[in-house]
Structures are given as C-alpha cells and as structure tokens.
Structure 1
C-alpha cells in the first residue's frame, strides 16, 4: 500500500527539517574534523557541545550528534557530565595504527591494480591526484582532506564497505592533533602528492606489485618514531 502524502499536511515540513538537521550535523562534523586535523582543538582538552553550539549559533542537537560521530571515529571521547575530550594517542597507539594501515591500505591498492580499473575510474583517480598536487601550496588541513579523498577513493574501488570504513577510521586517527605539520617544510607536501601520481599510474597500468611497493613507501610519512 502506497503512502498518500496529501493526507500528511506536515510531511514536507518534517522532511525539510530532517534534511536541514542532517546537513547541520554533517557540516558541523566536517568543521570539527578540520579543527582536529589542524590541531586547533588540543589533545586532552574538554569541549562542551553546548558551548560550541552557542558559538556557532546552532541548537545543541546537531552539534552533539556530530561530536558523538567523532567519538565513534576514535577522535573524541565522551567525558560524563563534562563534555568531549580530544583523544591523545600514545606512542604505542600510533604504532598500532601505522601497522594496521600497512596491512589494509597496501593490500587494497594491490588488489585494485590486479583487477584493473575502468577508464572512468582512472579519470577520477587522476583528477583526485591532481587536486592534492594543486593544494600543496595552500592550507595543510585542506590538503589533508584532499589526501583523504584520494586514498578513500582507492579503497572504495574494492567495493568493500567495511574495508573502506576501517581505512577511514585508521587514517583519521593517524592525522589528528596536527600530526602532519612536519610535511609543510622542505617540499615534503609536494613530494607526498607526487607519490600519489606514481601510485595512480601503477594502479591504472595494472601493476599490483609496483602499486603495493609505492604505497609502502608513501606511508613512510605516517610512520611514528621508533
């Protein structure tokens, strides 16, 4: 039996409000992720959803939902009756994240190169690669977002949603608290972006061993000091 929307006079308003709420939550989460990646939100400090909502001129609900989403990503932790604390990873935590990234990201790119990408997928990968190159002279947080987009697109091509979610979570955790500020000097950011180009071409040309080797080399920038 189909639903007759004409019998629900507030249906359109309800949908509009739900979409607006979702948009507010997503845009707030994006803003908070930017602050976490740039280091503007400091490790160990506690932030109130109410205070952030007031500062942004928003209701508390979408802000709290955005912050809870970041809790699920391992970037914030809930402190009962106080707010949300920025997660501070120990050296052991960072090593675990790095080791896992080597396992899942390298194998992902190997499989993608082995199965060969379509012409449309190749075009999209080259477009995202060029975007990272173009942003090397701009804001680091903007570059890191483009970097994330490129790497997640690679994994997305596997068609395995759980694999994608694992990689996204690990990459977020490795980048929080301004962890990659060191890339801003001595042309390291451009060098990292150019590594994207080599990985992309290895994938497109169907060279799985080369693509995997290049990914291992590329992830060296994320290796914590031993």
Structure 2
C-alpha cells in the first residue's frame, strides 16, 4: 500500500498500467516490487486473469512475467490454478543477505575508488527520490527507487552479470515492515543513508563506503523486515 499524502488516501502497491512500452518488463517489475513489499503474499495463489484485471492489462503479459519470475525462483506454477509466491524461510533469507553482502560490499568499495564525480552526481536525484517516497509513504515507488539506486551504483563497476544477479537476489527480499516504519516516522532515517553512501564514495572513502553498505544491508533482514537489528 502507499499513501497519497495530499489527500490522506491509501492506494494499492499494484496500480493500473495503461502505457504499452515494454509492457512485459513493466508488469514484471511491478509484480516483483509487490512481492518485496508484501502485497503479493508468500504462499498465496494468484491467477493471471485476476492480476491482469488489477493491473489493467491483458493476461498474456502477466503470464509472461510470471514465467520470468518462476525462473528467478520467486513464484511457482500451480497447474490449473495460477501462481504461488514462494515462501522463503528465515534461513533462506539470511543466506540471500549473506550473498548480497559478499557481492555488494566489496563492489561498493571498488566504486568508491573509481567513480567519477559525474557518476555520483547522476545518483543524487535517486537518493532525493528515496527520501521523498519514504516521507510520503509511497512504498512501491520507494522500492523502485531503492532498486534503481543500488543497481545503478553497482553498474559503475562495469560488471553487468553482477548487477543482474543482485537484481534477482533483491527480488527475493521481503520488506514487510516498511508500512509500519513509515507510520512510525522511521523510514526516512534509513532513506537518508543513500546520500551518506554517496558522500563517502565522492570522498573516495572505500572502507567507509563498505562499512555503510554492510550496515545498510542489515536493514533488509532487520528493521525493514520487522526484526531487531544487531
């Protein structure tokens, strides 16, 4: 769910899609974000026609998107019924974060050593967008901006397969407590860490950037998932 700050209304994470550019990829992105946000719940079966109606598209791009998400391990096909969101246990989610840390922390360190001022500047608007969406409770937009920020940051290292793997691993995350954190006014604090990370990269502080990235990843299995952090 997200909140229209100007009118105080709640709107669903899955909204209408009316444009037709790269429709399959856009449907895939929205469904992935809805899984991460917890609107598409683990263990629940969803039919392609029902999801298509919610998205305002035909069932075909939804089925195509679900095939892609099945290959990523996020959903499984239930014959004659639809698609079930895979329920990952705590051990599996901890393993995912461990993998992400092994990939993302040293990569951010390399980025801090090599990024140009122009590359860092291009990420500032995304960091601003994260702060804005955290403050207004636009959770799907927050997740989309967070994904774009981190993938573009990692892309500076020049390894496309690394970026694709992190995209897949991020899709397996479950950030179920974001709504509660927004309501408690705590989401903006973690959103501000993106500017702090860029500050360390801009200063070529590789060790500082790695430390902050490791701390930031801790939120995914900590406060963002409704769990205590060490």
TM-score (norm 2): 0.80
**Matched-pair contact (CA < 8 Å) for 2:49–2:59:** yes
In 2, the alpha carbon distance for the partners of 1:50 and 1:128 equals 34
- Hey, which bits of structure 1, 4+ residues long, moved more than 4 A? 54-57
Query: Does the aligned pair in 1 maintain the 2:52–2:62 contact within 8 Å?
Result: yes
Equivalents in 2 of 1:55, 1:175: separation in Å?
21
Q: How far apart in 1 are the matches of 2:180 and 2:86? A: 20
Once the two structures are superposed, residues 192-222 of structure 1 have per-residue CA deviations (whole angstroms, 9 ceiling, x without a partner) of: 1111111111111111111001111111212
Partner of 1:108: 107
Write the distance in 1 (CA, Å) between the matches of 2:56 and 2:50: 10
The equivalent of 2:172 in structure 1 is 173
Correspondence for 1:200: 198
Q: Mean alpha-carbon deviation: is it higher for 200-209 or for 39-48?
A: 39-48
Give the direction of change, closer, same or farther, for the CA distance of 1:186–1:40 in structure 2 (3 Å limit).
Answer: closer
Q: What's the counterpart of residue 120 of structure 2?
A: 122
Instruction: Give the SS at the match of 1:212.
Output: helix
Structure 2 residue aligned with 1:23: 22
1:209 corresponds to: 207
Q: How far is 1:81 from its partner?
A: 3.2
Partner of 1:189: 187
How far 1:79 moved relative to its partner? 2.1
The alignment's TM-score, normalised by the length of structure 1, stands at: 0.81
Matched with 1:148 is: 147
1:1-44 C-alpha deviation (Å, 9 max, x unpaired): xxxxxxxxxxxxxxxxxxx9772212322332343233222211
Alpha-carbon separation, structure 2, partners of 1:70 and 1:219: 23
Q: Partner residue of 1:63?
A: 62
Residues 141-200 of structure 1, C-alpha deviation per residue, up to 9 Å, x if partnerless?
211111111111111111101110111111111136x35445325443111111111111
Paired position in structure 2 for 1:136 = 134
C-alpha contact 1:133 1:194 (8 A) present in aligned 2: yes
Structure 2 residue runs of 5 or longer lacking an equivalent are 1-18
Q: Show structure 1 runs of 5+ residues with no match.
A: 1-19
| Conserved? CA contact 1:25–1:66, under 8 Å | yes
Match of 2:16 in 1: none
> What is the SS of the residue equivalent to 1:206?
coil
More helix by share: 1
Q: Distance in 1 between matches of 2:52 and 2:215?
A: 42
**Alignment RMSD:** 2.3
